[in-house]
Chain A
Amino acid sequence: MSENRNIMTDQTTLERELVSRARKGDSKAFEDLVRMYQEPLYRYLCRLSENGEDAMELTQSSFVKAYFSIGRFRGESSFKTYLFRIASNTWKNTIRDRGRRRSIDIDQVSIASGDNPYEEVVRDQEHKKFWSLVEELPARQKEALTLRIREGYLFEQVAKIMGCTTGSAKASYHHGVEKLKLAFEGEDR
């Protein structure tokens, strides 16, 4: 446990140093920050956009935006939280620019295997219905679900990234969950 804490502290110290150098225009330091966070940022954007190619583009443009606004990052949250907030806004802008959301290729949606406390076998039809409903969720609800469930952020952190109050983040999350429950409607339990 203390070993993990030391690793976390080392990463925080390294992150601060890199951010400080990047703020002074050190592009190599910023490249190191990109390497540090490119995978979690891509995965987050992939979950939001439901599309790998979009996520790759969004990851790159989010980093570029983060670079140009890094002067405003004051270290009150982690750099990752700051990055995720920029990425969220970038994703939302893309949705609005397109005027519609990209469709999920539902047939390509698959379930991971592995240990999971919830062991019920999910039927194919239910699975497709579920992801259709995810596709229809308002951006804020999908964002709240992704941050809380997939990224494992607590609601206080979810709210920081979404730029809203904790209560609002919770409400978006619960409204999203309620809508997704419709996937199981009408089945025998």
Chain B
Amino acid sequence: MNVCRDKSGELLPEYVKGLLEPKEMNKVADHLAGCSECSSQLRVISLFEDKVLPEPGPWFWTTLPGKVTAQIEARRRGKTRVQISVWAGGLAAAAVAVLMLLQPGPPTQPQTGALDYSFMEIADPFPLGVEEEILSVSGMFMDDLEQVYGLDLNVLSDETVVTMDLILEGDGYETMDDETIRIFEDLLEEMTPKRVGKWVMS
């Protein structure tokens, strides 16, 4: 891969849009005249930039905020039902779920001592699609997790880290949709309270 090291090459997206100051525009133009790499990159950027997007129309823009709110309300109602079923279930898995829901949140001090990564074996049979769903709803929490818990997350996959996020934070239900909650509960059934307890409390 040939990449031009001249700084002008980094400004090509702004150059195409005409966002640079006149002096910079001229400087980039001069560079382009003598650099085939940047010239062909400019060609790619221009084509990529110029695509016309379909316009959904005013109806979409007007109704979207209300639709989002309606979906949020529907999901909230669904979550309540799931939580009630967890409380009423009386199964070992339900007890685990309740334990996690009652967790007050991440500890204020980083945990010390050797961490038991054997728990992570549980994440292995986790269906791939669910891992990704959890990854998406968990937003930016991975960095926070590393700071709060003082963990070395480099040894783990992103998906596993986010699974930890849900377990440790205890409010995973807040960010999961109904389908994810269902599969997450199936996962809980595979865990023994001892293993979860060991992880949460260690």
Partners in one complex: yes
Question: A-side interface residues toward B, CB under 8 Å?
Answer: 27, 30-32, 34-35, 38-39, 42-43, 46-47, 52, 55-56, 59-61, 63-69, 71-74, 77, 82, 85-86, 89-90, 92-93, 96-97, 109-112, 115-118, 120, 122, 127, 130-131, 134, 145, 148-150, 152, 163, 174-175, 177-178, 180-181, 183-184
Interface members, chain B 5-36 (any A CB < 8 Å): 13-19, 25, 29
Is B45 a contact partner of A149 (Cβ separation < 8 A)? yes
Known: A46-B53, A109-B51. A60 touches B136 (CB 8 A): no
State in angstroms the CA–CA spacing of A120 and B66 once bound together: 44
Q: Nearest chain-A residue to B44 (Cβ)?
A: A180
Closest Cβ of chain A: how far from B181's Cβ, in Å? 11
**Chain A residue nearest to B54 in the complex (CB):** A52
Among A27, A152, A178, A184, the residue within 8 A (CB) of B13 is A152
Task: Pick the residue among B47, B68, B71 that contacts A127 (CB under 8 A).
Answer: B47
Please name 9 pairs of A and B residues whose Cβ atoms are closer than 8 Å in the assembled complex, sorted by A: A38-B61, A63-B64, A72-B140, A92-B136, A116-B46, A116-B49, A118-B42, A149-B49, A177-B41
Distance between Cα atoms of A1 and B13 in the complex (Å): 22
Chain B interface residues toward A at CB < 8 A: 1, 3, 13-19, 25, 29, 40-54, 56, 60-61, 64-69, 71-73, 75, 128-129, 132-133, 135-142, 144, 158, 171, 174-176
Contact assessment for B48 and A150 in the assembled complex, using a CB-CB cutoff below 8 Å: yes
Contacting residue for B68 out of A30, A82, A148, CB 8 A: A30
- State whether A52 and B56 are in contact (beta carbons under 8 Å apart), knowing that A38-B61, A72-B141, A85-B140 are contacts in the complex: yes
Neighbour of A145 across the interface among B25, B48, B132, B142, CB < 8 A: B48
Closest A residue, CB atoms, query B67: A60
Chain B min CB distance to A86 (Å): 6
Q: What residues of chain B lie closer than 8 Å to A68, measured between beta carbons?
A: 72, 75, 137, 174-176
**Distance in angstroms between the alpha carbons of A71 and B106 in the assembled complex:** 14
Q: How far is the CA of A137 from the CA of B18 in the complex (A)?
A: 27
Residue in A93, A112, A134 whose beta carbon sits within 8 Å of that of B132 in the complex: A93
Q: How far is the CB of B163 from chain A (nearest CB, A)?
A: 15
CA separation between A134 and B19, bound complex, in Å? 25
CB contact under 8 A between A184 and B40, given known A112-B50, A148-B13? yes
Contact indicator A134/B136 (Cβ below 8 Å): no
Q: Which residues of B contact A34 (CB under 8 A)?
A: 64-65, 68
Q: Which 8 A-B pairs have the closest CB atoms?
A: A89-B136, A52-B54, A118-B46, A31-B65, A34-B65, A69-B139, A180-B44, A63-B68
Q: How far is the CA of A31 from the CA of B15 in the complex (A)?
A: 35
13 more CB-based (< 8 A) A-B contacts, given A27-B69, A69-B139: A30-B72, A39-B61, A55-B56, A93-B133, A116-B46, A117-B16, A117-B25, A118-B42, A118-B46, A130-B44, A150-B48, A174-B1, A181-B43
